[in-house]
Amino acid sequence: MSEVTPQQLKEALQTHFNLEELSIFAFEVGIPYEDLGGSGRSGKALALVQYAQRHSKFDQVVEAVKAKRPSVNWDAPTIPTNQPTNPPTSQPASVQYHFHGQVVGSAIGGGSVQAENIAGRDIIIGQIPQNREEFNDQLAALRQLLEQAVANGEIPDERDAADVVEDVNDALAEAQSDEPRTSRLKRYLENTAEVLDGAAKTATAAGKVGLAVLKAAPIAAALVKAVQVLF
């Protein structure tokens, strides 16, 4: 079993392969590139990793990347999707900070978080997507986190879990259609954000950290805010 995480594999594919190379790589490992969703290197890399997970090809893909790109440093910290390599010193208006868990420290200022001690281990920064490509990438990432949350039983009500999975899948299909309908996207994502926010609060109250639902909740909230602007 590979010790490489899905996020590490996605970042390696996105960073070390261009779109043409990703297409060739997918063919070599037996993944139908033309059937993968997403757009751009980030979207295609994420879709490739998700396909590999669903079809028990994850370890095979990891070994193929190691063989083709031996220079990849798997231990290096990865750059979060859609975050700039050199972030500006001032805080963009579109950035929101979501803290799950007990946080002890000073206030946010100058675009940075200054803290003497952070007791909670989950500090999630939700970047509101600036264009439709980023929107689709974050929506795909939300689905992946949601699948993890549901599989781990992090959404207490099974009916809510089933509903949000359906809503996110519907939102993905709608966002990638030729003429996405804002009202439908908004409805799907508001339902998802409401359920995830409740599950995240329940997890936080129980003192749980590192859960997929804690990472998914702020992404859903950011996507809700982006719908009216981008569609």
Tokens encoding 17: 């392969």
Q: Is the pLDDT of residue 100 over 50?
A: no
CB 82 within 8 A of CB 137: yes
Average pLDDT, the chain: 77
Neighbours of 55 (CB within 10 A): 11
Closest by CA position to 192, among listed 158, 174, 217: 217
**Domain segments of the chain: what residues?**
6-68, 124-230
**What per-residue confidence (pLDDT) applies to 203?**
87
Give the pLDDT band of residue 58 (cuts 50, 70, 90). Answer: very high
What is the rounded CA–CA span in Å between residue 58 and residue 38? 18
Predicted confidence (pLDDT) per residue in 67-94, tens digit: 999 888 877 544 443 444 444 433 343 3
Q: Is the pLDDT of residue 120 over 90?
A: no
What is the rounded CA–CA span in Å between residue 210 and residue 203? 10
**What per-residue confidence (pLDDT) applies to 28?**
93
- The amino acid that residue 120 corresponds to is G
Q: Is the pLDDT of residue 106 over 50?
A: no
Q: Would the pTM count as exceeding 0.75?
A: no
Contacts with 180 (C-beta within 8 Å, 6 or more apart), sequence order: 174, 231
